[in-house]
Structure 1
Amino acid sequence: MSLKKAIGIIVLVLLIDQISKIYIKTNFQLRDSVDVFGWFKILFVENKGMAWGVELPGTYGKLFLTLFRLFAITAIGYWLYDAVKKHSSRILIVSIALIFAGALGNIIDSVFYGIIFNGSEGQVATFLPDEGGYASVFHGRVVDMLYFPMVDTTWPEWVPWLGGDRLSFFDPVFNIADSAITVGVALLIIFNKRAFPKKKKENKREVVKEVVEVDPNRA
């Protein structure tokens, strides 16, 4: 698979990811939701930290996280280039391209969204507001909106310790970039043997035939 096709996958994922995020950011207030199906909702939340909303403590926690992401995506980019150069399997190149696109999509939020949007708490954000953004560069929050509450009920009263408490599955809210990363990793796991084929060891032993020339003059 060529590098040009891999870049095409990356651009396509980035366009879908950023268009969906910008639409949500400029049309929804924080925590606004729309029911699509009973098990699928569009729910606008912002992620300040890593996956599942985990945050790094301290003043420089967010900055460290963003810089780490930039370092990681550089490594992933080199991995992609190297895989194409070595004519690796198509499944490996597609997987790396999806992971790269997803990581880059969320990095764009972290690096730029704080300065190109104002806050979404109690209002719909404005793109390039006159009063400036809600945070400095590298301190933006990742926009999430895909929510699949497949199970949202309560535990039966007879269940010890849990009776009457909320029972839910699947709670995380994510975005297109997260989906691309998940699909890329899943492809590597499911098609591991195709992604990383083992080179057959060529143990071809050459049988050296010694041609003994019989000297007819020899008695």
Structure 2
Amino acid sequence: MKAISKLGWTAYGLAALVILVDQLSKYWILYVYDLPGRFSTPIVGPLSLTMVWNRGVSFGLFTADQDLMRWVLTLFSVGVAIALAVWARKAARPFLGIGLGLVIGGAIGNAIDRFRFGAVVDFIDVQRLGFFPWVFNIADSAITIGVVFLLLDSMRKESAA
């Protein structure tokens, strides 16, 4: 079996960092700040903290109210993370390693929520901007930014060898 590339280790480290920051932020929101008891709090400018239990996929799409769907979504997230982790083993380009790490960490962060709570903890709210109606979390942000890195990597020009 081929050794894990340096950028593969970078992807794994970044995934671990995303999971840690995501879960710590959710712990703070739920147990220290007690956002569920407040529901919504304006912070600064368009930023508010608003408690949403997301039972669907990203940004609340495809709501999964049944317990079976909770486990299907959890297993799907873990499966995607495993597949991306296998791909990351041989990452040879920085944007690929960064993108994979962010998506892996975000997928696992949200899977942990589904396992623990039956729903994903969403709390970052910028609806007052007027064009972004969704409430999200650190894991969602990591997935979105990771996909951007993967798209940028896919648009690179191959070097002539």
Query: What TM-score bracket applies, with the shorter chain setting the length?
Result: 0.7 to 0.9
Counterpart code for 1:37: V
Counterpart code for 1:96: L
1:198 aligns with 2:153: no
Highest CA radius of gyration, 1 or 2? 1
**Selected match of 1:142 from 98, 115, 120:** 120
Q: Matched residues in 2 for 1:2 and 1:89: separation?
A: 7
Match of 2:58 in 1: 51
Per mean C-alpha deviation after superposition, the further-off stretch among 33-42 and 4-13 is 4-13
Aligned length: 153
Counterpart code for 1:81: R
Percent of residue pairs bearing the same amino acid type = 34
Gaps of 5+ in 1: 115-139, 152-167, 203-219
Give 1:37-48 correspondences, 5 Å limit.
37-48=44-55
Per mean C-alpha deviation after superposition, the further-off stretch among 172-181 and 35-44 is 35-44
Deviations 1:9-40 (A, max 9, x none): 12221111100001111122266122112311
**Selected match of 2:96 from 52, 72, 92:** 92
Q: Per the alignment, do residues 59 and 39 of structure 1 end up closer, same or farther by CA in structure 2, a change over 3 Å counting?
A: closer
Query: Any conservation in 2 of the 1:31–1:45 contact (CA below 8 Å)?
Result: no
Give 1:18-167 correspondences, 5 Å limit.
18-26=23-31, 27-29=34-36, 32-53=39-60, 54-56=62-64, 58=66, 60-83=68-91, 88-111=92-115, 113-114=116-117, 140-151=118-129
Q: Per the alignment, do residues 18 and 57 of structure 1 end up closer, same or farther by CA in structure 2, a change over 3 Å counting?
A: closer
Deviations 1:85-130 (A, max 9, x none): xxx111111111111111111011111x23xxxxxxxxxxxxxxxx
Using CA pairs below 8 Å that are at least 6 residues apart, which structure has the higher relative contact order? Answer: 2
Query: Any conservation in 1 of the 2:7–2:94 contact (CA below 8 Å)?
Result: no
What RMSD in Å do the two structures reach over aligned CA positions?
Answer: 2.0
Q: Per the alignment, do residues 89 and 38 of structure 1 end up closer, same or farther by CA in structure 2, a change over 3 Å counting?
A: same
SS, match of residue 143 in structure 1: strand
User: Could you state the TM-score of these two structures normalised by the residue count of structure 2?
Assistant: 0.83
Q: Matched residues in 2 for 1:183 and 1:81: separation?
A: 20
Query: Any conservation in 1 of the 2:7–2:93 contact (CA below 8 Å)?
Result: no
Offset, 1:193? 3.2
Gaps of 5+ in 2: 1-5
Q: Per the alignment, do residues 147 and 23 of structure 1 end up closer, same or farther by CA in structure 2, a change over 3 Å counting?
A: same
Q: Matched residues in 1 for 2:81 and 2:100: separation?
A: 11
1:184 aligns with 2:143: no
Q: Matched residues in 2 for 1:94 and 1:44: separation?
A: 29
